Amino acid sequence: MAILRLKTDEIWLYIIDFRHENAHITRPFTQLPDRFTAAAISKIKSATIQELFVANTPQARKRARQAETHRQRKAGQRSMLRTAIKKVVYAIEAGDKSAAETAYKAATPIIDSAANKGLIHANKAARHKSRLNTAIRAMS
């Protein structure tokens, strides 16, 4: 398997063979081989490390597709969770108890949903709700 890593003007080729103790053998290319076209170079430069690792079997390709879909979905859910918690915190910091209670009522189902989906642990969800609720009750 070959993995490319960019270094200034050179492209380093990492040849990885997991059957040997010396897993990484590196060799710099100051002049690119003919098989690296300009399109291939631009694709390599814009690729993430996950895209450079190519799945070798149909099952591995499917798992890679699923992992990327799940990662994107979880990122959106995590962002929604953090935003809901921040709204409560900002309302508490502003000293507006009614806005904090409204934001807390809106955030509670989002926190519970994140816990049910496995995005966060159930104890973490309970901890968030408890601390937010305690802070709201402490407001005068």
DSSP 3-state assignment of 100? Answer: helix
Does one domain contain both 132 and 71? yes
Residues 67 and 133 in one domain: yes
Of 17-21, 47-51, 112-116, which one has max mean pLDDT? 112-116
Return d(Cα 6, Cα 102) in angstroms, integer.
50
Looking at the structure of the chain, the number of domains it has is 2
Strand order in the sheet with 2-7: 2-7, 10-16, 24-29
Range of the domain at 34: 2-54
**Which of these three, 25, 54, 83, is where a domain ends?**
54
> Based on the domain organization, do 130 and 83 belong to the same domain?
yes
**Residue 111: its H or E element:** helix 97-116
Is the pTM higher than 0.85? The answer reads no
Q: What's the pLDDT score for residue 70?
A: 93
CA atoms within 13 A on the CB side of 122: 1
Question: In the 8-state DSSP scheme, what is residue 31?
Answer: S
